[in-house]
Structure 1
Amino acid sequence: MRSMRWNGVFGILLASLAACSAEPAAETPRPALVVHAGGGVEAALSAYAGEIRAREESPLSFRVGGNLVRRNVDAGARVRRGEVLAVLDPGDFALQAQAAQAQLAAAEADLVRARGDRDRYAKLVGDQLISQSTYDAQEAAYKAAEGQARAARAQMDVMRNQEGYSQLRAPRDGVIASRQAEAGQVVAAGQTVFTLAADGGREVAIGLPENRIRDFSVGQPVMVELWNAPGQRLPGAIREIAPAADAQTRTYAARVDLVGDAAQQVELGQSARVYVQENGAKAALKLPLSAIQRSDDGKTAVWVVDPATGKVRLQPVRLGAYGEESVPVLDGVRASDWVVAAGGHLLREGQTVTPVDRNNKPIAMK
């Protein structure tokens, strides 16, 4: 009986030793979201945020200074050519016009007297009752009076113009884009009161980065996408590029002209995105930002899955300018490579993974 008990214990010990000497269980492959590096024409496009603006934007101001007593329009109002937009206090201008009128009347009276004197002196010199020099002096007095009358008439015209300048009128049809003054404010001559967006062409104002400014040129075709109409792209072309960069943003202001009927589909102030294919740009591959990793030596890299074994390896890559959701890959991977798009920080060199798509379905890589 005791022998049978010891035999059982010995069997249990042998089984335990056999279990300890066996190899450890194989590691379960970790699921990994994998993608191909995208490319093509779309990958060569760069997007720049912009705003719909009028091609002709005119700052409107009074040609004289004074107290703004009335403002007839506000921002967003549609105006017609010649419409009165604002009025200055005309009191001083009316008084100046009256003074100029009085000076003109006095100058014309002097001219009439000088003309009569000259005519009488002309008769007297013809009868040889006065000397020629006396007549010449009277002729000079007449010409001086004539000049004074012309100067007074010109001054009166100026004062009348000044009185008319107290009314700010729209130079053309359009929309008031902004207002910079209010009734009761004293404005100076040339101070902007309104900004008028004239009817006609519509453009997109964008800023181009200084490190790529040589990749753009006037006349280059682009595509414009409105924020409120995603997926619908309107044709356009770069109309102008500023010769110097902005001192604060360090970007070059550019205007994109909308081609054909595209200008009729936009409204002032709308947000837009301009897609530009730089001159000489190649169809670079692109990967999502989540696929980019850092190697031990601090270089950028991605995890590439071996289709034959399912094991991952860290592949160094050279990247372009980062976008909002993706980054172009200039060197290091091919379009046919399977790249881990998420969870790369949990992987190690040589680890086996189960490749899946975005719907968590296994992918046959062979």
Structure 2
Amino acid sequence: MTRIARPTTRPPTTNPLLIALLALAPVLAACQPQGGHHADAAPVIRPVRTITVEPVTFRMGGSATGTIEARADADLGFRIAGKLVERKVDVGSLVKAGDVLARLDDQDQRNALRTAEANLASAQADQVQARNEESRKRELLANGNAPQAQYDAALLAMRTADAKVVATQAALQSARDRVGYTELRADRDGVVTTIGAEPGQVVEAGQMVVRVAQPEEREAVFNVAETGIRAAPKDPVIEVSLAGAPDIAAVGRVREISPQADPVTRTHTVRIALDNPPDALRLGATVVGRLKQPPAPVVELPGTALFEEAGRSFVWVVDPKAQIVRRQPVVIRPRDGARDTDGPVIVTEGLTRGDIVVTAGVHSLSDGQRVRYNQKIETAAAP
């Protein structure tokens, strides 16, 4: 019977040096550079959308309706109360300085004048008598035929009579003035624009009877909302044209803006001083006012390109060589109505032609951050 030889199993050889090398292998592998590069973290490159600023013209729109008024007008009324018996002018009448416009019933004033004249005559008679008495007493006192007390009484009576004459003279002048106040006279050349009282009506002192305007200096008056005033440029030139006839027009500049809004309409009164207005722009005419300015290149950006910090507006501008963004302060024109972050904004300062502006993701960027943007460039308006 043949025996089959079986291999004898021997225990593995234990080598201390081999064991140490096997233990260090993972550590050495971790320290070994991968692919010849350092293991530093790569900077974050954010993709963004951009537009490039290019010249595009822009003209402001919008208009307002107003009226033509005189720059200087005056409400004329009597200085005393009374019954109006005559009015010599009507709306549209041309008047000269000093012309009589209306009259009051002057019977009461003339009676007061006659009373004042009589009082003055009486006071003057008393004055003559008192002066003669003072003269006699002075002579008697000098001769020793009258006591000092009698002369003092005569002197006092004379001075009282003199004062009474002065008072009655002033009363007479006042009575004469009141008679004059029954006539309403124009204090300037102009045209009557409003009538406030009719003959037979009893008017109070100071009540407007006639309004006289100076037509040589005319201006357009508009009621403008607060947003329209904020959106207007500095020292704007306004074109004012006759409603229904735009070819009849004049230009002017803002002379006055009411500091307080009307409590009902919440609008401000804007007065436009006109330069050489045509005769067709008469007082009371309805006109339309528009900003007159040549089309000017501006920057119009989407609202998403804008962000604000500490009350100032900024955009991110891309440096195309370094592929980084920098913060750029800008000045924008206020927009009408509620703010719409997605609507366009008009930039008046801060950007120039060729600037690459980020339009999306502006709140996740920081100064000097690297970005990646589409080389296919959209354009925005610029100065």
Same fold by TM (over 0.5)?
yes
In structure 1, C-alpha distance between the alignment counterparts of 2:184 and 2:87, rounded to whole Å = 9
Quick one: which amino acid aligns to residue 234 of structure 1? A
Per-residue CA deviations over 1:287-323 (Å, capped at 9, x if unaligned) read xxxxxxxxxxxxxxxxxxxxxxxxxxxxxxxx9548x
Q: 1:185 to 1:212 in 2, by over 3 A?
A: same
SS in 2 for 1:204: strand
TM-score (norm 2): 0.60
Per-residue CA deviations over 1:250-281 (Å, capped at 9, x if unaligned) read 1111211012x226552111111122379xx9
Alpha-carbon distance, 1:208 to partner: 2.1
Q: Does 1:271 align with 2:286?
A: yes
* Paired position in structure 2 for 1:300: none
In structure 2, C-alpha distance between the alignment counterparts of 1:242 and 1:52, rounded to whole Å = 17
> Kindly, what percent of the aligned residue pairs are identical?
35
TM-score (norm 1): 0.63
Contact 2:105 2:182 in 1 (8 A): yes
Per-residue CA deviations over 1:310-358 (Å, capped at 9, x if unaligned) read xxxxxxxxx9548xxxxxx9529xxxxxxxxxxxxxxxxxxxxxxxxxx
More helix by share: 1
Q: 1:59 to 1:218 in 2, by over 3 A?
A: farther
Quick one: which amino acid aligns to residue 176 of structure 2? R
Q: Does 1:239 align with 2:252?
A: no
In structure 1, C-alpha distance between the alignment counterparts of 2:233 and 2:106, rounded to whole Å = 50
* Paired position in structure 2 for 1:59: 75
* Paired position in structure 2 for 1:254: 270
Q: 1:321 to 1:211 in 2, by over 3 A?
A: closer
In structure 2, C-alpha distance between the alignment counterparts of 1:73 and 1:263, rounded to whole Å = 26
In structure 2, C-alpha distance between the alignment counterparts of 1:173 and 1:118, rounded to whole Å = 56
Q: 215-224 vs 234-243, which deviates more? A: 215-224
In structure 2, C-alpha distance between the alignment counterparts of 1:123 and 1:112, rounded to whole Å = 17
In structure 1, C-alpha distance between the alignment counterparts of 2:251 and 2:199, rounded to whole Å = 43
In structure 1, C-alpha distance between the alignment counterparts of 2:104 and 2:245, rounded to whole Å = 44
Q: 1:252 to 1:217 in 2, by over 3 A?
A: farther
- How many residues were matched structurally? 252
Alpha-carbon distance, 1:218 to partner: 8.9
In structure 2, C-alpha distance between the alignment counterparts of 1:144 and 1:246, rounded to whole Å = 59
Q: 1:63 to 1:320 in 2, by over 3 A?
A: same
Alpha-carbon distance, 1:229 to partner: 3.0
In structure 1, C-alpha distance between the alignment counterparts of 2:184 and 2:110, rounded to whole Å = 16
User: Aligned-pair RMSD on alpha carbons?
Assistant: 2.9
Alpha-carbon distance, 1:219 to partner: 5.3
Aligned with 1:117 (options 114, 126, 133)? 133
Alpha-carbon distance, 1:104 to partner: 0.8
Query: Structure 1 residue runs of 4+, over 6 Å off?
Result: none
In structure 1, C-alpha distance between the alignment counterparts of 2:271 and 2:299, rounded to whole Å = 26
In structure 2, C-alpha distance between the alignment counterparts of 1:217 and 1:240, rounded to whole Å = 15
In structure 1, C-alpha distance between the alignment counterparts of 2:123 and 2:64, rounded to whole Å = 66
Q: Does 1:44 align with 2:60?
A: yes
SS in 1 for 2:246: coil
Alpha-carbon distance, 1:200 to partner: 2.7
Q: 1:271 to 1:163 in 2, by over 3 A?
A: same
Q: 1:284 to 1:277 in 2, by over 3 A?
A: farther
In structure 1, C-alpha distance between the alignment counterparts of 2:122 and 2:80, rounded to whole Å = 27
Quick one: which amino acid aligns to residue 163 of structure 2? G
Per-residue CA deviations over 1:81-134 (Å, capped at 9, x if unaligned) read 111111111111111111111111111111111111111111122112223333
Per-residue CA deviations over 1:39-65 (Å, capped at 9, x if unaligned) read 845x31431211111111100101111
Q: 124-133 vs 192-201, which deviates more? A: 124-133
Q: 1:209 to 1:100 in 2, by over 3 A?
A: same
In structure 1, C-alpha distance between the alignment counterparts of 2:134 and 2:186, rounded to whole Å = 50
Q: Does 1:70 align with 2:83?
A: no
Contact 1:44 1:283 in 2 (8 A): no
In structure 2, C-alpha distance between the alignment counterparts of 1:183 and 1:217, rounded to whole Å = 50
SS in 1 for 2:109: helix
| Equivalence map 1:287-366=2 (5 Å) | 321=336, 330-331=343-344
Structure 2 stretches of 5 or more lacking a match? 1-55, 301-333, 346-383
Contact 2:239 2:292 in 1 (8 A): no
* Paired position in structure 1 for 2:208: 192
Per-residue CA deviations over 1:14-60 (Å, capped at 9, x if unaligned) read xxxxxxxxxxxxxxxxxxxxxxxxx845x314312111111111001
Alpha-carbon distance, 1:185 to partner: 0.5
Contact 2:98 2:186 in 1 (8 A): yes
SS in 2 for 1:44: coil
Q: 1:51 to 1:218 in 2, by over 3 A?
A: farther
Q: Does 1:80 align with 2:96?
A: yes
Quick one: which amino acid aligns to residue 204 of structure 2? A
Structure 1 stretches of 5 or more lacking a match? 1-38, 286-318, 323-328, 333-366
In structure 2, C-alpha distance between the alignment counterparts of 1:40 and 1:187, rounded to whole Å = 60
Alpha-carbon distance, 1:241 to partner: 1.4
Quick one: which amino acid aligns to residue 344 of structure 2? D
